[in-house]
Amino acid sequence: MAIPDFQTLMLPLLSTAADGEEHSHTEIIETLATQCQLTDEERDEMLLSGRQTRFDNRVRWARAHLGMAGLIEASGRGKFRITARGVEVFKNPPGRIDRRFLRQFPEYQQNVAGNRSNSKQMNKEEELEEEIKQTPEEILESSYQSLRRELAEELLERIKQNSSRFFERLVVDLLVTMGYGGSRKDAGEAVGRSGDEGIDGIIKEDKLGLDVVYIQAKRWQNTVGRPDVQAFAGALMGKKANKGVFITTSQFSQEAQNYVNTISQKIVLIDGEQLAQLMIDHGVGVTEVAIYLVKRVDSDYFSEE
């Protein structure tokens, strides 16, 4: 099944804590994952930050909201237990515990909504909040991905508006930034120099030059088909080379992608979308506008044990 959103996890979490015993966050993660019948892939799915699994993040927020409503409370380092209020709620458990249900408790209203005087505006905001199934980190992640897609589209458009010579320089900058090509001078002399048998350039695979990579860089509008990739593979064979990178501003046909999986040479195909994403990842042609550092409470700091 799909990973439940954090509001859906609130009732199962309180149900697990209803035994009155102390529970650790690690334990509750395992228990709820088993109850939800998550696959290994779902349990291991990471947030974009790569520092927390998506399921862990959602359980943490379910736990946080239950705590803000006074249904559970911290009982030690990384541990919690159900409160008297939580026990009362679970005596006649609702079909679902979510943010709307928790708003009946004054503490929750104060923690989440604050002291807002405009009741009409507050009700409107509450309705919008009820529709939100993502955790705050996931909302940030979604917004980041949206901004990244827009940036990638703009980068590709800018590349296509420039000359082929500019594209060759861009390829040099990207490959050197990624650690290929040795120095920028070496790479600049190699890429765009050959023009030989379907090969646009030769760069070092590493700074020591232990191996070389052959480059085909095409600023094209149309889809790159198998014949073009096959010609590049043939050129590699003529050079007795095993590694090549074919970069284009457009896209590769499915036949072209299937073809590189059937040959002995290792050819990496980088289409326009991948090119733009690599530029963003390695800071080529882009500049930082703002950095948002997300922090959370260090539970160990507040533990007196």
* Residues 230-251, mean pLDDT to the nearest whole number: 90
- Both structure tokens of 271: 């289409």
Q: pTM of whole model > 0.85?
A: no
CB 203, CB 192: distance < 8 Å? no
Q: Higher model confidence: residue 121 or residue 16?
A: 16
pLDDT at residue number 305: 55
271 closest CA partner among 220, 199, 200: 220
Q: What is the mean pLDDT of the chain?
A: 84
Residue 87: CB partners within 8 Å, gap ≥ 6? 18, 20
What separation in angstroms does the CA of 90 have from each of 87, 126, 192, 248? 5, 24, 71, 60
CA angle at 20 for the pair 111 and 103, rounded to the nearest 5°? 25
**157-213 pLDDT tens trace:** 999 888 888 888 888 888 888 888 766 666 655 665 555 555 677 887 777 667 888
pLDDT at residue number 241: 84
Q: pLDDT band for position 76 (50/70/90)? A: confident
Q: pLDDT band for position 119 (50/70/90)? A: very low
Rounded to whole angstroms, how far apart are CA atoms 252 and 224?
A: 5
**127-167 pLDDT tens trace:** 445 556 788 888 888 888 888 899 999 999 999 888 888 88
Query: Which of 102-111, 197-206, 267-276 is most confident?
Result: 267-276
Q: pLDDT band for position 115 (50/70/90)? A: very low
249 closest CA partner among 170, 149, 191: 170
Q: pLDDT band for position 69 (50/70/90)? A: very high
Give the pairing type, strands 23-24 and 266-270: unpaired
236 closest CA partner among 226, 223, 245: 245
pLDDT of 120 higher than 50: no
pLDDT at residue number 57: 92
Side by side, which strands form the sheet with 23-24? Answer: 23-24, 79-82, 72-76
Rounded to whole angstroms, how far apart are CA atoms 168 and 151?
A: 21
Q: pLDDT band for position 121 (50/70/90)? A: very low
Q: pLDDT band for position 98 (50/70/90)? A: very high
* SS3 call for 242: coil
158 closest CA partner among 149, 145, 167: 167
Rounded to 10 degrees, the C-alpha dihedral 217/222/223/228 comes to -50
Residue 150: CB partners within 8 Å, gap ≥ 6? none
CB 170, CB 247: distance < 8 Å? no
Q: What domains can you pick out in the chain, each with its CATH number?
A: 10-133 (1.10.10), 153-282 (3.40.1350.10)
**217-227 pLDDT tens trace:** 888 888 999 99
